[in-house]
Structure 1
Amino acid sequence: MPLSHSSSLITPCLWFDNEGEEAAKFYTSIFPDSEIGHVSRYTEAGQDQHHQPAGKVLTVNFTLSGTRFLALNGGSPDPKPGSDLNFKFTEAISFQIDCKDQDEVDYYWTRLLEGGGKEARCGWLKDRFGLSWQVVPVQLKEYLGGKGDGQGGKRAMERMMGMGKLDIEGLREAYEGTG
């Protein structure tokens, strides 16, 4: 039987080369109810394996809007030919931010792009660390659901596919067939 926990049982671990602490500070500056917790450091122990200097940051525990995360400075090993070791973020994993209005969409979109992030399509972006985010208005579920004339969802999807940052008014107009 699983142990009961007073907090979440699952903590996403984000593997960085060396930027874990910088990333944790960046993310906690953006999201409300966020903080940096325990920071651990490499020691001489295991240096023949990790090749990191003693004192360098190993992990950073941090919380974003009440969700726990761990940043790991694991370095970027040079994989051998044929190896599947390549510790880079891909779009296969992303974090979705449910935004109540356009002001929130604009805020998170702008903040996460600071310092060299890259815009993508359909409300997706990559921050300067290469982590993918979906900045999504909560209204999107309704608009893509296509109730009403039965074509609203199709129109909203077509409009969304042409957007970078999502525009709630544009999605609503497409959904309602008024724009």
Structure 2
Amino acid sequence: MTSVQTCLWFDGHIDEAAEFYVSLLPGSKILNRTQYEPGSGPPDGPDMTGQALTVDLELAGVPYTLLNGGPQFPLSEAVSIVVTVDGQAEVDRLWEAIVGNGGRESQCGWCSDRFGLSWQIVPQQLNDLLAGPHAEAVMREMMQQIKLDVARLEAAAR
């Protein structure tokens, strides 16, 4: 059987990150945890015996592995988790959970959490509007926003 999942490289705190991530989205859960064996750790790094090596989880049914691999490959906006939600209330809830807990805002619905992972919080309404006849105006409005505002996007489409 073939399966696919995304592995995200962290420099510590993967247990904390996993607990935070599964708290964000309904239908999410931690599946498995492995730890470093005695005397092991990342190359040229400290002994990490007993610390988490990997945490496997599902976010809204999508599988991910968090890898505690050390500082060699930091997270960046080159990889993000896109969460499509229905309505402004859910955009606001997730945005506050991520940014309000040590994360930072970016632009066009992008933010990053306190661990450095980038997220895109996208209302389904944006996708619908971008498929409509006023997509160009909606896109211009979206490019002006930080957290996406459904009412402003819908106004741009009128």
Report how far residue 51 of structure 1 moved: 3.8
Aligned to 1:39: 33
Q: Distance in 1 between matches of 2:139 and 2:79?
A: 22
Does 1:12 find its partner at 2:6? Answer: yes
**Identity across matched positions, percent:** 39
Question: Normalized against structure 2, the TM-score is what?
Answer: 0.91
Q: Distance in 2 between matches of 1:44 and 1:88?
A: 25
Q: Distance in 2 between matches of 1:99 and 1:47?
A: 38
Q: Is the 8 A contact 1:114 1:128 kept in 2?
A: no
Cα deviation digits, residues 85-132 of structure 1 (max 9, x gap): x41111111111111111111111111113211111111111111111
Q: Is the 8 A contact 1:33 1:65 kept in 2?
A: yes
Within the candidate set 59, 65, 70, 2:60 is matched to 65
Alignment partner of 2:9: what SS? Answer: strand
Does 1:106 find its partner at 2:92? Answer: yes
Q: Distance in 2 between matches of 1:134 and 1:154?
A: 20
Aligned to 1:82: none
Q: Are residues 61 and 48 of structure 1, via their aligned partners in 2, closer, same or farther at CA, if it must alter by over 3 Å?
A: closer
Structure whose alpha-carbon radius of gyration is higher? 1
Q: Which has the higher contact order (CA 8 A, sep 6+)?
A: 2
Aligned to 1:154: 136
Within the candidate set 134, 151, 157, 1:169 is matched to 151
Q: Are residues 106 and 51 of structure 1, via their aligned partners in 2, closer, same or farther at CA, if it must alter by over 3 Å?
A: same
Q: Is the 8 A contact 1:33 1:66 kept in 2?
A: yes
Alignment partner of 1:143: what SS? Answer: helix
Q: Is the 8 A contact 2:39 2:47 kept in 1?
A: no
Q: Distance in 2 between matches of 1:103 and 1:153?
A: 23
Q: Is the 8 A contact 2:99 2:111 kept in 1?
A: yes
Q: Which amino acid aligns with 2:79?
A: I
Gaps of 5+ in 2: none
